[in-house]
Amino acid sequence: MQGDFSAHLKIFSELGVKTRLVRTPRDLEEIDGIAIPGGESTVMSRLSERYGLFEPLRTRIAEGLPAFGTCAGLIFLAKHIDGASQTFQQTTLGVLDCTVARNAYGAQRESFQTRLEVAALGDSIPATFIRAPKITAIGENVEVLATWQEAPVVVRQSGIMACSFHPEIEGESRLHQLWLHGALGLER
């Protein structure tokens, strides 16, 4: 519905994964996992509510539908948003037991690229942070897969994996592969 879904579609296609866009509750019935891209989490929330996707999506993920979120996707999956106020209310799916602070790594002009060590991959990956959320707290069932300046930036909870940055911008597919392998049992 919103965000950089085309970059994710390209990566999944290159990995040989059959994909489809999800725009209606019926589309959710026909998928084995969902990627929620970077973009604008507030718009994602509002559009999913407007088109009747919010509750079915929340229910499917809560019941075990694997989900992979990047940047805004992380915010949309998170249980809590740090500093949320009465004037700025955003509804999240609340399926990933973590708290995030929106845009905590800076404004658009403060975007940056770095490399992150991901122990589960045994290697470092390029990471592009654009108005990125910071994970400020995690639940006991959330595994930290990578950190940046001592804060978690890649986390996993059962079949849900999320990151604060945009691996898809770099065409970096190893996190996608890790999620596919762990959540769906597909070969890396």
Q: How far apart are CA 173 and CA 167, in angstroms?
A: 7
Given the residues 71, 98, 163, 176, the one annotated as active site: 71
Looking at residue 98, what is its pLDDT? 98
Looking at residue 41, what is its pLDDT? 83
pLDDT by residue for the chain (188 residues), tens digit each? 566 788 889 999 999 999 999 988 999 999 999 999 887 788 888 888 999 999 999 999 999 999 999 999 999 999 999 876 544 567 899 999 999 999 888 878 888 999 999 989 999 999 999 999 999 999 999 999 999 999 999 999 999 999 999 999 888 999 999 999 988 777 65
User: For this structure, is 168 an active site residue?
Assistant: yes
Looking at residue 188, what is its pLDDT? 52
DSSP 142: P
Q: Which domains does the chain have, with CATH numbers?
A: 5-184 (3.40.50.880)
Looking at residue 103, what is its pLDDT? 85
Looking at residue 87, what is its pLDDT? 47
Nearest to residue 135, comparing CAs of 180, 85, 78?
Answer: 78
Which alpha helices (DSSP H) does 40-184 contain, by range? 41-50, 54-62, 72-77, 174-184
Helix (H, G, I), strand (E, B) or coil at 123: strand
Q: How far apart are CA 134 and CA 154, in angstroms?
A: 10
Given the residues 8, 98, 163, 166, the one annotated as active site: 166
Nearest to residue 36, comparing CAs of 158, 161, 128, 183?
Answer: 161
Looking at residue 117, what is its pLDDT? 96
Residues 6+ apart with CB under 8 A from 184: 32, 33, 66, 159
Helix (H, G, I), strand (E, B) or coil at 158: coil
Given the residues 8, 98, 168, 176, the one annotated as active site: 168
As beta bridge partners, residue 138 has 98
Looking at residue 81, what is its pLDDT? 92
Looking at residue 58, what is its pLDDT? 96
Q: How far apart are CA 48 and CA 64, in angstroms?
A: 19
**What is the value of pTM for the model shown?**
0.92
